[in-house]
């Protein structure tokens, strides 16, 4: 079979527009990591089961490993690298909360975890514990047992709501 | 990294264009890709062209015409947020039980309705499968799940179809010969090898849910290993309607993940009809479901276990559906 | 009063991990880099008749193809007597996934395509997949040297077990089995290697001991260790599964050597599951004898472990479950026969809860004895738990062990005694206890050393061989250094796990890092302090003994105004030609004559932690699902250097050992092929599955550990497993002998029990 022709892709990632020439079989994860050098999204499995590749597409968490890059043209993609830039401080409040509440061990699940938490808090600024656990139900963490990840999301929610100061 | 095989990709701007594109040899419909991309990575499917249905199928829930038309491109993320009346509450419930939020954000209703059957001996990498003769579903002559078996027993484990079938939904299908409608149940062949009763280049456009009696309720119950991600080991969707006498007037019971298609269980429905869904009636319905189930050794848990718990799923779905029906009746009276 | 130790300061590395800035191996790329892929055996046992690489070599974009013909033939095994694995199979493959050939190409796609073009002619051989089948007469032999496929036999006998039964009032035999568990660290294995024209090899890969990797790789590449530089990289979890040598690093280095270009190999999830390490399945037969008052008097255990195709850490893996038992409960007469058996399955290594069938068997025996003797589960454990000052049967002295305190902590917090036998139907409560060692004899690689040097502006550089797999080892040594030096953590720069620079260290292995590496760091800092005080004594016109260092200043004790900033001390030293460099070296007090098989006696470890857990469950009698209501975990970790991080280890232990290990996790098989190699089919606990966890840290400061610290978390992983199993037994009225207790097994057990009750009535 002859190799299918490359296609021109117009992608918006972390607020920046990119014009790329790629094979149509490229997943969003491959394009982020290999074309744009954004290695914050990881390939823990490549088949949808772990969540380490999760990024936000138009504000919703999605598996970059199962998404064809061609399919997200016109959408806005946010990766972990783009989260902090939007604000003055060096860390986004959710990132800061994960650091402060010890929600990170090996860190391989962290980018997907934080972005999924962001989508949750954007939709529901004061989720209860069950809602947090449900929102994170597709994000596997092998290290933490999730306890301090849940703490981190709760801390982030309180700080974003102005109920608690960031030291 | 797991890589996709070389393929072409197109995103036709209209339904007609999509149907035409799907008529080309080696073309395959692509919706959210949450199942198809995995299959491609495993090389269980090797289409030459992926035809994105994003602009060809409707998205969203259309309330015109007395019922609801759920567009095939509607994401499960949106569907689970639908505040459905008790009669069709099984639908968002089933949507919510699929995979996990970052998969539901892209997974579509059409893709869920058209999900391929699954088998632990088939949904494996090309490397894994290379160590043994190809099974029937992979084009070979043997079955690893049921040695000596004469057909493929791959399991149909999509969660929406039982719920849609239980509430009596129909699907709207379009193809080279135009549009047609059929009952959700008739979308399935019950065959592991080719589970969908769709002609070449046909696409599902929507699931049309009828407006049902205000005295009815539905529920979906899924037994799975964990509280997220997992496919059903067994599931049941039940719709029940309360009669004037307070007893159950009609019922529909549909099982998931215990055969190669959704399984409607008439005997379970008979057991519920005329009852108050008291424990004996539920137990009879559960037994009927257990007899109707045909699990084999190709999914989570043992077949014997899945057979047992599909009965439990029926009881729990029926009880919850009944509470909804009765609750709805009280609320409306 | 400690300033930095004992404080839950946020870890520095987590800032990088929160922003995506942390680089894991697969994130690294070097200019001109090639991509590798590996050809693996699809068959569990076969002779290789012919390996033809010509078509792969002809594919455009392929830069090198290697097979055993290119390899040195050096065999790997952790011990001299266990070297049985070549990194590229020469004439025979022994498990599905074994490496046969590898390709380096311009892209990963081309490399994968080329692998598919390598033609191999196999002669299939009969295979065996169960350890008991493998030792039976007539079983296919997997290695010529191993009769009855026995890879390792650890025999231990202390006291006189056969004579002891007569003195027992309760004797009971139990048989338990567990399937294999798997690591499922979120990061799949990956290697980046670059062999340059100076003959040096730089390597990045997730690992639990850079120095072990450097030595193993140097051996296999036939290079001096000084030519192999294992570099620092972020690591996505280990749990025992990154400990020894894997073919991946050798293959990648060889491809790089052949092409003179950097080469990167990234495993798929499936490869990570089958071609790195897996847990051992086990069959455990135990006989326990107790006296009337509950004293454990005699124990006889035989265990068969499925070791897979090669030795790996064999002798250690075969011993550790026994050791964890003998450190936990006192017993005068004990015999252990541990067999690690070769099968045609992937290679097995040590995993966090290594030996759930073993550990849970012990606690099941205790509960059954308590029942028979009219005691409660707490009493019988308090009666038999080892304590500070005791000796284990194989002659380890226990310098510190707050066993009773941890048992009481969870018993009281959970109100165990009020609930025991008084809970509603289908509810249950259970307890488990375990002690874990902080390190064991590892010969020349059993110690650690560290250095501290200073910048002219007072900045501190700490150099240590520690490796951080995510558990926070870097944070631990930074806190220890800050405390020992009296300098804020932020002023300390850490260089870790870079073999070119860092001194030999045992690695994140055997729970030794905090105690061994931590002590080396403490000593290095104390040495530096002493030298700084010598210099500062002149500047401050005081005697060195009267000086103190805190907040980055050296001052005279009692008169903090007489102070000089660290930077100034450093500069004064430099002016005199004295560059302050602290050095610390630490070797734990273990008996180096102790040997796993030949001589299993003598001091095993410098310190022993203890963990106790109570778990309360509700079982759904219709589905067999177990709803875990609460977990109480209590840990004597010695001094908690960072309490929140210790809690994090405890939480993770509950998830992996308890919830995953007992309710969910098992590898499934079809003729030697692993059926569940991915995150969908292998069930690791998800956020909504996990119960509330109540942690209690009990600090029995250890005399040897740095600031009193031992290990953090592993004992919780194991004891929670035991508590989960006992709680389920309490809820359903009988123990389940197979692990994990998946819902189908729970339901079968309930129904079998109801069946026997029906018959009895
Ligand atoms: C980790 C994981 C867990 C999962 N868990 C579940 C689960 O619990 N329950 C469950 O039901 N599913 C589960 N899935 C499968 C899948 O995500 C869902 O079924 C999803 O709804 C599929 O929709 P999609 O839009 O992504 O389909 P796609 O993957 O795009 O397509 C699936 C199939 O449907 C065909 N198709 C798609 N749309 C149409 C159409 N309109 N007309 C005709 N054919 C069409 C495609 O050609 C393809 O054959 C899981 C997947 C993953 C990766
Ligand atoms: S049921 Fe048999 S034929 Fe069908 S997919 Fe499974 S192994 Fe193949
Ligand atoms: S990489 Fe595991 S879900 Fe995408
Ligand atoms: S922190 Fe390691 S996987 Fe979550």
> Per-residue pLDDT tens for C1-35?
689 999 999 999 999 999 999 999 999 999 999 99
Say how far apart CA C544 and CA C554 lie, in whole Å. Answer: 10
The answer to whether A83 and A92 have CB atoms below 8 angstroms apart is: yes
Q: Is C306 inside any structural domain?
A: yes
CB < 8 Å to A49, chain C? 269, 678-680
Of B2, B54, B102, the CB nearest to A71: B54
Residues C105, C106, C110, C116, Cα dihedral to 10°: 0
Q: To the nearest whole angstrom, how far is the Cα of C112 from the nearest Cα of chain B?
A: 9
Q: Whose CA is nearest to atom 3 of ligand 3?
A: A48
Mutate to test the pocket of ligand 1, among B90, B110, B194, B201 (most ligand atoms within 8 A of CB): B110
Determine, for residues A140 and C186 on separate chains, whether the beta-carbon distance falls below 8 Å. yes
Q: Is B161 inside any structural domain?
A: yes
The answer to whether C71 and C152 have CB atoms below 8 angstroms apart is: no
Q: Which among C540, C558, C586 is the end of a domain?
A: C586
Q: Is C157 inside any structural domain?
A: no
In the predicted model, what is the mean pLDDT of residues C278-285? 97
Backbone angles phi, psi at C151, to 5 degrees: -85, -45
pLDDT at C40 over 60: yes
Q: In the structure, what pLDDT confidence band is assigned to residue A1 with cuts at 50, 70 and 90?
A: very low
Domain ranges, residue C754: 278-441+593-760
B18 & B82 share domain: no
Task: Tell me if the pTM is above 0.80.
Answer: yes
What distance, in Å, lies between the first and last C-alpha atoms of chain A? Answer: 60
Q: Cα B19 from chain centroid?
A: 23
Cα(C154) to centroid(ligand 2), Å: 43
Say how far apart CA C363 and CA A17 lie, in whole Å. Answer: 61
- Which residue out of C25, C26, C42 would a mutagenesis test of the B interface target, given it has the greatest number of B Cβ atoms within 10 Å? C42
Query: What's the mean per-residue pLDDT of chain C?
Result: 96
The pLDDT > 90 percentage for chain B reads: 94
Q: Is C15 inside any structural domain?
A: no
C268 & C303 share domain: no
Single out the residue of C718, C696, C692 nearest to residue C628, CA to CA. Answer: C692
Q: In the structure, what pLDDT confidence band is assigned to residue B295 with cuts at 50, 70 and 90?
A: very high
B271 & B183 share domain: no
- Which residue out of B5, B12, B47, B102 would a mutagenesis test of the A interface target, given it has the greatest number of A Cβ atoms within 10 Å? B102
Q: Is C615 inside any structural domain?
A: yes
Say how far apart CA B155 and CA B116 lie, in whole Å. Answer: 9
C213 & C287 share domain: no
C521 & C629 share domain: no
Tens-place pLDDT, residues A32-89:
999 999 999 999 999 999 999 999 999 999 999 999 999 999 999 999 999 986 555 6
B304 & B199 share domain: no
Q: Is B286 inside any structural domain?
A: yes
C436 & C447 share domain: no
Cα(C469) to centroid(ligand 4), Å: 10
B40 & B91 share domain: no
Ligand 2 pocket, Cβ-based, cut-off 6 angstroms? B 119, 121-122, 135-137, 143-145, 152-154, 192, 298
Q: What is the CATH number of the domain that holds B274?
A: 3.30.390.50
pLDDT at C170 over 60: yes
Q: What is the CATH number of the domain that holds C78?
A: 3.90.1170.50
Say how far apart CA C281 and CA C429 lie, in whole Å. Answer: 26
pLDDT at residue A10 in the model:
95
Tally of domains in chain C: 3
Tens-place pLDDT, residues C303-336:
999 999 999 999 999 999 999 999 999 999 999 9
Name the one residue in this structure whose structure tokens are 């690689």: C445
Q: Is C165 inside any structural domain?
A: no
The answer to whether C327 and C398 have CB atoms below 8 angstroms apart is: yes
Lowest mean pLDDT, pick from A101-110, B111-120, B122-131, C701-710: C701-710
Name the one residue in this structure whose structure tokens are 């071609």: C275
Say how far apart CA C424 and CA C616 lie, in whole Å. Answer: 12
B162 & B262 share domain: no
Q: Which domains does chain A have, with CATH numbers?
A: 7-82 (3.10.20.30), 93-160 (1.10.150.120)
Residue A48 near ligand 1, beta carbon < 6 Å: yes
The answer to whether C441 and C506 have CB atoms below 8 angstroms apart is: no
C471 & C406 share domain: no
Ligand 3 pocket, Cβ-based, cut-off 6 angstroms? A 43-46, 48-53, 63, 65
C286 & C372 share domain: yes
C532 & C601 share domain: no
pLDDT at residue A3 in the model:
59
pLDDT at residue C760 in the model:
55
Q: Is B188 inside any structural domain?
A: yes
Q: Is B242 inside any structural domain?
A: yes
| Cβ-Cβ contacts under 8 Å for C474 (sequence gap 6 or more) | C11, C12, C13, C466, C468, C494, C496
Ligand nearest to the CA of B118: 2
pLDDT at residue C443 in the model:
83
Cα(C593) to centroid(ligand 2), Å: 56
Query: What's the mean per-residue pLDDT of chain A?
Result: 95
B78 & B200 share domain: yes
Buried b (16+ CB within 10 A) or exposed e, B110-140: bbbbbbbbbbbbbbbbbbbbebbeebbbbee
Q: Is B119 inside any structural domain?
A: no
Lowest mean pLDDT, pick from B183-187, C39-43, C710-714: C710-714
Q: Is B126 inside any structural domain?
A: no
C367 & C254 share domain: no
C398 & C496 share domain: no
Q: What is the CATH number of the domain that holds C495?
A: 3.30.365.10
B65 & B174 share domain: yes
Q: Is B308 inside any structural domain?
A: yes
The answer to whether C713 and C641 have CB atoms below 8 angstroms apart is: no
Measured between CA atoms, the residue of chain B closest to residue A33 is B1
Tokens coding C50: 């012919």
pLDDT at B311 over 80: yes
Backbone angles phi, psi at C586, to 5 degrees: -140, 130
Say how far apart CA A144 and CA A127 lie, in whole Å. Answer: 20
C47 & C91 share domain: yes
Using the Cβ of B304 and the Cβ atoms of chain C, whether some distance falls under 8 Å is answered with yes
Q: In the structure, what pLDDT confidence band is assigned to residue C756 with cuts at 50, 70 and 90?
A: confident
pLDDT at residue B332 in the model:
65
With 0-12 / 13-18 / 19 or more C-beta atoms within 10 angstroms meaning exposed / middle / buried, residue A15 is exposed
Ligand 4 pocket, Cβ-based, cut-off 6 angstroms? A 104-109, 141-144; C 186, 237, 470
C191: helix, strand or coil: strand
pLDDT at C151 over 60: yes
Using the Cβ of C113 and the Cβ atoms of chain B, whether some distance falls under 8 Å is answered with no
Determine, for residues A143 and C187 on separate chains, whether the beta-carbon distance falls below 8 Å. no
C434 & C486 share domain: no
Single out the residue of A77, A51, A83, A79 nearest to residue A66, CA to CA. Answer: A51
Give the nearest ligand 3 atom to C679 CA: 2
* In chain A, residues 1-30 whose CB comes closer than 8 Å to chain C: none
Torsion sign across C-alpha atoms C712, C715, C716, C717: positive
Q: To the nearest whole angstrom, how far is the Cα of B127 from the nearest Cα of chain A?
A: 15
Tell me how many residue pairs between chain B and chain C have CB atoms under 8 A apart.
74
B75 & B176 share domain: yes
The pLDDT > 90 percentage for chain A reads: 92
B13 & B100 share domain: no
B197 & B243 share domain: no
B293 & B200 share domain: no
pLDDT at C47 over 70: yes
Q: Are strands C34-40 and C263-266 parallel, antiparallel or unpaired?
A: parallel
Tokens coding B164: 């849609």
Q: How many other CB atoms are there within 10 angstroms of residue C660's CB atom? A: 29
Q: Is C3 inside any structural domain?
A: no
C269 & C284 share domain: no
- Which residue out of B8, B33, B101, B226 would a mutagenesis test of the A interface target, given it has the greatest number of A Cβ atoms within 10 Å? B101
Q: Is C1 inside any structural domain?
A: no
The answer to whether C134 and C82 have CB atoms below 8 angstroms apart is: no
Rounded to 5°, angle at Cα C173 from C168 and C176: 145
Domain ranges, residue B249: 216-332
pLDDT at C569 over 70: yes
Using the Cβ of C669 and the Cβ atoms of chain B, whether some distance falls under 8 Å is answered with no
pLDDT at C686 over 50: yes
In the predicted model, what is the mean pLDDT of residues C364-368? 98
Residue B70 near ligand 1, beta carbon < 6 Å: no
Residue B72 near ligand 1, beta carbon < 6 Å: yes
Q: What is the CATH number of the domain that holds B73?
A: 3.30.465.10
Cα(A61) to centroid(ligand 1), Å: 17
Give the nearest ligand 2 atom to B119 CA: 6
Q: In the structure, what pLDDT confidence band is assigned to residue A93 with cuts at 50, 70 and 90?
A: very high
Strands (E), chain A: 7-13, 16-22, 54-57, 60-63, 76-78
Tally of domains in chain B: 3
The answer to whether C88 and C67 have CB atoms below 8 angstroms apart is: yes
Tens-place pLDDT, residues C52-93:
999 999 999 999 999 999 999 999 999 999 999 999 999 999
Residue B203 near ligand 1, beta carbon < 6 Å: yes
Tell me how many residue pairs between chain A and chain B have CB atoms under 8 A apart.
105
Q: Is B181 inside any structural domain?
A: yes
Residue B36 near ligand 1, beta carbon < 6 Å: yes
């Amino acid at each position: 079979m002859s190799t299918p022709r490359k296609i021109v892709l117009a992608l918006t990632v972390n607020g920046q527009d990119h014009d790329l020439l790629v094979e149509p079989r490229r997943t969003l994860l491959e394009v982020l990591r290999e074309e744009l050098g954004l290695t914050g999204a990881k390939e823990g499995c490549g088949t949808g089961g772990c969540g380490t590749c999760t990024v936000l597409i138009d504000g919703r968490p999605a598996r970059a490993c199962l998404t064809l890059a061609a399919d997200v043209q016109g959408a806005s993609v946010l990766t972990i690298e783009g989260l902090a830039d939007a604000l003055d401080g060096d860390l986004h409040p959710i990132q800061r909360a994960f650091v402060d509440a010890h929600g990170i061990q090996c860190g391989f699940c962290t980018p997907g975890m934080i972005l999924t938490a962001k989508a949750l808090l954007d939709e529901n600024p004061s989720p209860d514990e069950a809602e947090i656990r449900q929102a994170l139900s597709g994000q596997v963490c092998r290290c933490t047992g999730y306890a301090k990840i849940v703490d981190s999301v709760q801390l982030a929610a309180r700080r974003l709501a102005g109920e608690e100061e960031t030291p | 990294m797991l890589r996709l095989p070389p393929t072409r990709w197109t995103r036709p701007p209209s339904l007609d264009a999509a149907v035409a594109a799907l008529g080309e040899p080696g073309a395959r419909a692509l919706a959210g890709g949450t199942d198809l991309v995995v299959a491609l990575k495993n090389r269980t499917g090797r289409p030459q062209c992926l035809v994105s249905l994003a602009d060809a199928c409707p998205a969203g829930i259309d309330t015109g015409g007395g019922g609801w038309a759920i567009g095939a491109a509607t994401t499960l993320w949106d569907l689970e947020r639908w505040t459905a009346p008790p009669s069709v509450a099984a639908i968002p419930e089933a949507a919510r039980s699929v995979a996990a939020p970052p998969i539901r954000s892209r997974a579509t209703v059409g893709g869920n309705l058209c999900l391929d059957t699954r088998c632990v001996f088939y949904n494996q990498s090309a490397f894994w499968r290379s160590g043994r003769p190809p099974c029937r579903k992979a084009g070979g002559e043997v079955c690893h799940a049921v040695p000596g078996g004469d057909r493929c027993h791959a399991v149909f484990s999509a969660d929406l179809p039982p719920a849609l079938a239980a509430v009596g939904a129909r699907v709207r299908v379009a193809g080279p010969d135009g549009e047609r409608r059929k009952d959700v149940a008739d979308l399935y062949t019950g065959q592991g090898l080719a589970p969908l009763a769709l002609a070449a280049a046909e696409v599902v456009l929507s699931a049309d849910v009828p407006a049902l009696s205000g005295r009815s309720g539905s529920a979906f119950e899924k037994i799975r290993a964990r509280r997220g991600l997992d496919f059903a080991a067994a599931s049941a969707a039940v719709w029940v309607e309360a009669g004037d006498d307070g007893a159950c007037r009609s019922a529909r019971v549909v099982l998931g993940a215990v055969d190669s298609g959704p399984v409607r269980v008439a005997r379970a429905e008979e057991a519920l009809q005329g009852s108050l869904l008291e424990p004996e009636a539920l137990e009879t319905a559960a037994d009927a479901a257990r007899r109707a189930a045909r699990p084999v050794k190709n999914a989570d848990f043992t077949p014997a276990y899945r057979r047992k718990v599909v009965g439990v799923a029926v009881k729990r779905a029926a009880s919850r559906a009944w509470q909804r029906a009765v609750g709805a009746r009280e609320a409306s009276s | 009063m400690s300033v930095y130790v004992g404080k839950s300061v946020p870890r520095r590395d987590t800032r990088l991990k929160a922003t995506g800035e942390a680089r894991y191996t697969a994130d690294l790329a070097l200019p001109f880099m090639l991509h590798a892929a590996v050809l693996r055996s699809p068959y569990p046992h076969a002779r290789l008749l012919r390996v033809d690489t010509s078509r792969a070599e002809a594919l455009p974009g392929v830069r090198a193809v290697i097979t055993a013909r290119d390899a040195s033939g050096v065999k790997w095994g952790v011990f001299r007597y266990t070297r049985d694995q070549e990194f590229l199979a020469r004439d025979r493959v022994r498990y599905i996934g074994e490496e046969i050939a590898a390709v380096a190409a311009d892209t990963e796609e081309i490399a994968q395509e080329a692998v598919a073009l390598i033609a191999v002619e196999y002669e299939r051989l009969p295979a065996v997949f169960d350890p008991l089948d493998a030792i039976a007469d007539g079983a296919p032999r997997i290695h010529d040297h191993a009769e009855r496929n026995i890879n390792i036999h650890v025999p231990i006998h202390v006291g006189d077990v056969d004579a002891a039964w007569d003195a027992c009032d309760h004797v009971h035999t139990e048989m338990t089995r567990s399937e294999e568990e798997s690591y499922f660290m979120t990061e799949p294995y990956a290697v980046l290697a670059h062999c340059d024209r100076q003959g040096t090899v730089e390597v990045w890969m997730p690992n639990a001991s850079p120095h072990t990797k450097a030595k193993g790789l140097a051996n296999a590449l036939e290079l001096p260790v000084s030519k192999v530089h294992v570099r620092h990289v972020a690591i996505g979890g280990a749990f025992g599964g990154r400990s020894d040598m894997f073919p991946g690093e050798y293959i990648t280095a060889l491809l790089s050597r052949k092409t003179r270009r950097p080469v990167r190999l990234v495993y798929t999830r499936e490869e990570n599951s089958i071609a790195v390490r897996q847990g051992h399945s086990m069959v455990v037969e135990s006989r326990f004898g107790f006296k009337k008052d509950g004293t454990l008097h005699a124990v006889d255990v035989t265990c068969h472990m499925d070791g897979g195709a090669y030795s790996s850490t064999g002798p250690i893996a075969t011993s550790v479950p026994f050791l964890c038992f003998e450190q936990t409960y006192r017993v005068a007469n004990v015999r252990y026969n541990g067999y690690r058996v070769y099968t045609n399955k992937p290679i097995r290594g040590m995993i966090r809860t290594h030996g759930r069938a073993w550990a849970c068997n012990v606690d099941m025996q205790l509960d059954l004895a308590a029942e028979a003797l009219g005691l409660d589960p707490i009493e019988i454990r308090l009666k038999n738990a080892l304590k500070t000052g005791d000796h284990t049967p194989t002659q380890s002295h226990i310098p510190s062990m707050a066993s009773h305190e941890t048992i009481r902590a969870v018993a009281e917090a959970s109100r165990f005694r009020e609930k025991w036998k008084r809970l509603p139907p289908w509810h249950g409560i259970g307890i488990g206890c375990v002690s874990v060692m902080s390190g064991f004899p590892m010969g020349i690689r059993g110690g650690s050393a560290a250095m501290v040097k200073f910048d002219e502006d007072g900045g501190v550089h700490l150099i240590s061989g520690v490796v951080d797999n995510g558990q926070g080892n870097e944070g631990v040594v930074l806190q220890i250094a800050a405390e020992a030096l009296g300098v804020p953590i932020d002023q300390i720069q850490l260089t870790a796990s870079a073999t070119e620079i860092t001194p030999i260290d045992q690695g994140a292995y055997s729970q030794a890092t905090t105690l061994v590496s931590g002590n080396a760091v403490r000593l290095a800092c104390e040495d530096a302090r002493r030298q700084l005080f010598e210099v500062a004594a002149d500047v401050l016109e005081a005697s060195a003994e009267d000086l103190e260092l805190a907040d980055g200043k050296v001052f005279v004790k009692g008169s903090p105004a007489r102070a000089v900033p660290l930077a100034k001390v450093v500069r004064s030293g430099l002016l005199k030609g004295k560059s302050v460099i602290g050095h610390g070296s630490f070797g734990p007090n273990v008996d180096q004559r102790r040997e796993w098989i030949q001589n299993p006696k003598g001091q095993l470890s410098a310190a022993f932690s203890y963990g106790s857990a109570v778990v309360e469950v509700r079982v759904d009698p219709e589905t067999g699902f177990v709803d875990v209501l609460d977990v109480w975990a209590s840990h004597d970790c010695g001094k908690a250097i960072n309490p929140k991080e210790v809690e994090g280890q405890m939480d993770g232990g509950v998830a992996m050992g308890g919830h995953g290990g007992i309710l969910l996790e098992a590898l499934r098989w079809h003729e030697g092929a692993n059926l569940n190699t991915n995150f969908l089919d292998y069930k690791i606990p998800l956020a909504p599955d996990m119960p509330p966890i109540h942690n209690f840290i009990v600090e029995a400061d250890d005399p040897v550990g740095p600031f009193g610290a031992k290990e953090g978390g592993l004992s919780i992983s194991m004891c929670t497993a035991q508590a989960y199993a006992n709680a389920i037994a309490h809820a359903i009225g009988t123990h389940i002998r197979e692990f994990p207790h998946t819902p189908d097994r729970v339901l079968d057990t309930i129904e079998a029990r109801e069946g026997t009750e029906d018959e009895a009535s």
